[in-house]
Structure 1
Amino acid sequence: MTDKVIENNQVTVMGEIVSGFSYSHEIFGEGFYMMDVKCKRLSESYDTIPIMVSERLLDVSADYTGELICINGQFRSYNRHEERKNRLVLSVFAREIEFVEEMEESSKTNQIFLDGYICKEPIYRKTPLGREIADLLLAVNRPYGKSDYIPCICWGRNARYANNFRVGERCAVWGRIQSREYMKKLDEENVEKRVAFEVSVSKLELIEDGEVS
């Protein structure tokens, strides 16, 4: 059962480590740390993705900044309480790590597959230039009764298709993790630059019979 649940959330990211380690938390004596990996897009821009790493996978006292790395894992979420409300915090939980010498031009440096349930009505809209966009929130099951809540963004035909999805329907999503900067208004005088993470969807489908086609 656990293997089946792990299969419903699969991430592979390849890129350059661009930060040191910062302590996150400890579970049953195992420490977890955060680092950032910069993944190249086809458009020559980059996504900087937060990675959660166990001290049992890497020497967290070392400095790997500038090293190239391939990570397999899961995209996970948790709610952090701040400013009198909860904020959804997302990161890639590393299960396997491999250092690489170089990135092949053909390498798919950022891939994700999710199999989950629509947990919020889709939000469909058009940009001023007429581009169609739909926002989805997917609940993806994890072992021991937990779930990760993953925001997804669809474009064009996919956005139109996703607009018809209903809460509770099961959905499979393929795409990549993207980072996006935005300005958060703190009060009348102060704004803060923040980074949001979401899945940019390249393909999606509803699952009717319990199997992904």
Structure 2
Amino acid sequence: MAEKVIENNKVSVIGEIISEFSFSHEVFGEGFYMAELSVNRLSEQADVIPLMVSERLIDVHRDLRGSTIEAIGQFRSYNRHEGVKNRLMLSVFAREIRFLEEFTDYTRTNQIFLDGYICKPPIYRKTPLGREIADLLLAVNRPYGKSDYIPCISWGRNARFASGFTVGERVRIWGRVQSREYTKKLSETECEKRVAYEVSISKLEQDAE
């Protein structure tokens, strides 16, 4: 049953490790660590994506900055408590890691598939230049009654299509994981630069059942 559930959240990213590993948490004596992975786009920009790995999967105590790896796993979320608020934290949870000596096929550096349920009404809008955008929040089930909550963004015809989705509706999404800088207003005089992570949708479909 668990293996079937995991099929609804699959991600593969290829990029360069650009930070040292830092301790995140421990489960049943197994330590999990975080690092940043720089993943190139075809546009020559790069997404910097948080990567979570087990100490049993990779030597987290070595300085692996500059190494190119392929990480295969799931895109996961958890709520971090910040004072009285919760903040949604996202990362690629690696189930497999492979070191690559050389890599040239940048068409497959960043791929994700999600099969989940709409858990908030879609937010549809147009930019000042007339570009159509729709924001979705997808709940993707995990074993043992858990769920990951994944922000997704769609464009153009996909955005128009997604704007009609209803809460509870099951949808499938293909795309890539992206990072985006934004400014968070903390008070009338104080702002903070933050990074948001989301799935940029290239294809989506409603459940046919």
TM-score (normalised: structure 2):
0.98
Specify the code of the residue in structure 1 equivalent to 2:19: S
Following TM superposition, by how much is the alpha carbon of 1:81 offset from its aligned partner in structure 2, in angstroms?
A: 1.2
Task: Identify the residue that residue 16 of structure 1 maps to in structure 2.
Answer: 16
Task: Identify the residue that residue 167 of structure 1 maps to in structure 2.
Answer: 167
**Superimposed CA distance per residue, residues 72-129 of structure 1 (whole angstroms, 9 cap, x where no aligned partner):** 0000000111142111000000000000011123540000000000001000000000
2:118 touches 2:169 (CA, 8 Å); kept in 1?
A: yes
2:40 touches 2:106 (CA, 8 Å); kept in 1?
A: no
Q: Percent identity?
A: 71
**Superimposed CA distance per residue, residues 170-206 of structure 1 (whole angstroms, 9 cap, x where no aligned partner):** 0000000000001112222221111000000000000
How do residues 67-106 of structure 1 correspond to structure 2 at under 5 angstroms? 67-106=67-106
Q: Give structure 1 stretches of 5+ with no counterpart.
A: none
**Superimposed CA distance per residue, residues 19-64 of structure 1 (whole angstroms, 9 cap, x where no aligned partner):** 0001100000000000010000011100000000000001111000
Q: Residue 134 of structure 1 aligns to a residue in which SS?
A: strand
Q: Residue 77 of structure 2 aligns to a residue in which SS?
A: strand
Q: Residue 130 of structure 1 aligns to a residue in which SS?
A: coil
Q: Give structure 2 stretches of 5+ with no counterpart.
A: none
Specify the code of the residue in structure 1 equivalent to 2:179: S
Q: Residue 160 of structure 2 aligns to a residue in which SS?
A: helix
How do residues 173-188 of structure 1 correspond to structure 2 at under 5 angstroms? 173-188=173-188
Cα separation, 1, equivalents of 2:118 and 2:52: 25
Cα separation, 2, equivalents of 1:72 and 1:10: 8
Cα separation, 2, equivalents of 1:71 and 1:40: 14
Cα separation, 2, equivalents of 1:11 and 1:192: 30
TM-score (normalised: structure 1):
0.96
